[in-house]
Amino acid sequence: MDSASSDQIGAPVNVRIYTDGGKSITAYTTGIGLSWIPRPQTAPSPGLTITPPAEVSKVLSPSTPPSQEDYKVVDPNELFIGAGKYLGKNVEIRNYRCYYADVGDYRCATQHTQLSIFTKTISPTSSKDWIEQNCDTMEKMARSDKCIVSIRLRFNEDEVDEDIISGYEKRKVIRPANGVIIVPREERSRRRR
């Protein structure tokens, strides 16, 4: 049986308990609660194993965000018509214009469809700063190529809304609670070189 060192007391641990009766549970605890999963096909002999906190945190909360390949590039018209098929999926929308509307309010749109993205947060910080410095008015958003970006997001059903603008035209608005990742066009160009 392994034991935790004294400096790990109170830290999150991964506890696996195996019994001779064939029953097994795995408990991950983070101090918030427990999560139980069934016994793996190949279980070690009966006993108790304590995994160091660093290993548990990799399982509980992956430290690496999704890579560029993990995002499906979607046309804004496709999202406007069929947002439902992209619920809970990582999508990227290219050639959108964004601006800093107000404190904690960033808005992105395109002239080609009535799909808008309203968000409270932008990451990474460099992209947030870029938008705040270069795209702080609607006029700049409409005229400056600096405001053309790619937007990466994931959204749920309760984050999609529709309204009517100009008296008759339908608009779809996505308000992702977890914010968006923005890649300025100039930064994308540098990556391709």
Mean pLDDT of 129-140: 94
If 0-12 CB within 10 Å is exposed, 13-18 middle and 19+ buried, where does residue 17 land? middle
Predicted structure pTM score: 0.61
Given a cut of 90, whether residue 14 has pLDDT beyond it is: no
| CATH 2.40.50 residue spans of the chain | 68-192
The phi-psi region of residue 167 (left if phi > 0; otherwise alpha if psi is between -120 and 50; otherwise beta) is left
Cβ distance 133 to 168 under 8 Å?
A: no
pLDDT at 179 over 90: yes
Cβ–Cβ under 8 Å, residues 13 and 50: yes
**Amino acid letter, residue 118:** F
Q: Dihedral, CA atoms, 60, 62, 65, 71, nearest 10 degrees?
A: -70
Quick one: CATH architecture of 68-192? Beta Barrel (2.40)
Q: pLDDT per residue over 66-93, tens digit each?
A: 565 689 999 999 999 999 999 999 999 9
The angle subtended at Cα 146 by Cα 141 and Cα 147, nearest 5°, is: 35
Distances (CA, A) of 35 to 18, 25, 62, 83: 16, 10, 16, 32
How high does pLDDT run on average in the chain? 73
- Alpha-carbon span 56 to 179, nearest angstrom: 26
DSSP one-letter string for 101-156: EETTEEEEE-SSSSEEEEES-EESHHHHHHHHHH--SHHHHHH-GGGEEEEEE---
In this predicted structure, what is the pLDDT of residue 20? 46
Amino acid at 150: S
The pLDDT of residue 25 is 44
Structure tokens at 142: 């409409």
Per the listing, tokens 């809970």 go with 88
Nearest CA to 161 out of 177, 147, 149, 174 is that of: 174
Largest CA distance in the chain: 71
